[in-house]
Structure formats: C-alpha cells, structure tokens
Amino acid sequence: MNEADSVYYMAVDQLPLAKRILARARIQMFELFMSAMEPTRATTILDIGVSEHENDEANFLEKMYPYKSSITCASVGDGEKVRACYPEVKHVTISPGAPLPFPDGRFDIAYSNAVLEHVGGYQERRNFLSEALRVANSVFITVPNSWFPVEHHTGLPFLHYWPALFRTCLKGSSLAFWTDPANLEFLTIARLRDEWPSGAKPQFMYTGIPLGPWSSNIAVALRR
C-alpha cells in the first residue's frame, strides 16, 4: 500500500491531466463526506491509509477538515511527514493485512480515500472493509471508479476498460507496477456491493468529477 502510494504520487507529478482531475475531484469528495456524514468538532475520525507522500493532492481530509485534532491517521509508515504537516492530528503505524490496533467501536467514523484498490485481492478487500466496520460506528470510503474514461494511476484513456489487455500492454513498460492486481484492482459500484461484508448496507454514490456512471470516483457511506 505504501509503495503504491509513492509510485502514484511521483507519477501524478508528471501527469498534468491527472493533477487537474485530482484537484477537482477531491473537493467534490470532501463536500460529499461533510454532507453525508455530518461530522462535528466532537466526531472522532480514523483515516485509514493516509499518504506518506505529501503534496497538493495527498491527504485532502487533513488539509480541508476544520477539526484536525479529531483525526487519527493510520499508515504503514512512521508518519513523520504527516505529523510535520499536520501537527494537530494523531498518527498510528499499522501493518498491511493485520487487524487494526483499536478496540471495537473506537471511532465515530472510519474514513479511507484511494486505498481499497491497492490492498490486494478479494479477501484482502473484505478484511479491510470488515476492520473499518469493526473499529468505527460509521464508514466513508472512496475509490477511483473504473468506468471513468481516464485511468487514474496511468493517465491512459479507455485501455483499463479491458483489464487483461491493460495488463498485457503495460507489462515491461514504465507503468508495469500497475499491471499487478495486488497493486491495483479496478473497482465498480457493482463489485463493491458484491464484496461488502454482510450486515448493514451502505449507500453507494458517484462523486468526484460528475459524469453519472462514468464519474471519476465512487463513495461508500454507512451511518449507524
């Protein structure tokens, strides 16, 4: 997850279109988070998979949220850059695939942006979602929508509509990192709905750049 994060943000710096997409999409996703979850100063938030690579595009919750002292950031790194940029937040180091180091219901909201597509296969995604549901009363998760015409991580149009072809064409190229499903999986609302753990059913929404089913991002919100 940390490696995917580093590769992605280094690549984005070379992709002006991707940077413009991110800038517009992140504002829309943050506004949706605020309206869907209605957090207050007292709301405790766990940000799962915060970025260790700090730039204008990364960690937009920490940048934009007004009550930063209510955020606990979890990442696989040491969090040094996160704490330096956002001294009000708390940081906890986690291990990929391991249970989160928190008791049941510790937080009001478990939040995650652009992480679920990088955690591995079906079972790893189910484990990630189950842990988010365990440690928080509510969850808000966003991921890239694979039906968006431009693939977020490579800046290539349309090729990702055919995942096998995408991986074959990019194998051996400078973008080969993204051909491994363990590093990048293409997610849709239908797939997320099928993989959601049993129990309370969330709301699935399109967000980011608004293009209906081809919008840039998907949000999954569950309030309990």
Q: Average pLDDT of each block of 10 consecutive residues along the chain (224 residues)?
A: 52 59 85 98 97 80 96 93 94 94 98 95 96 98 96 91 97 93 96 93 96 97 95
Domains of the chain: 2-222 (3.40.50.150)
Start-to-end CA distance of the chain, whole Å, equals 28
Strands ordered across the beta sheet of 45-48? 90-93, 71-75, 45-48, 107-113, 136-144, 217-222, 203-207
Q: CA dist 24 to 121, 192, 206, Å?
A: 29, 24, 14
SS3 112: strand
At 205 the pLDDT is 98
Contact call for residues 140 and 221 (beta carbons, < 8 A): yes
At 23 the pLDDT is 76
pTM above the 0.85 mark?
yes
At 38 the pLDDT is 98
What's the half-sphere exposure (Cβ side, CA atoms, 13 Å) at 106? Answer: 16
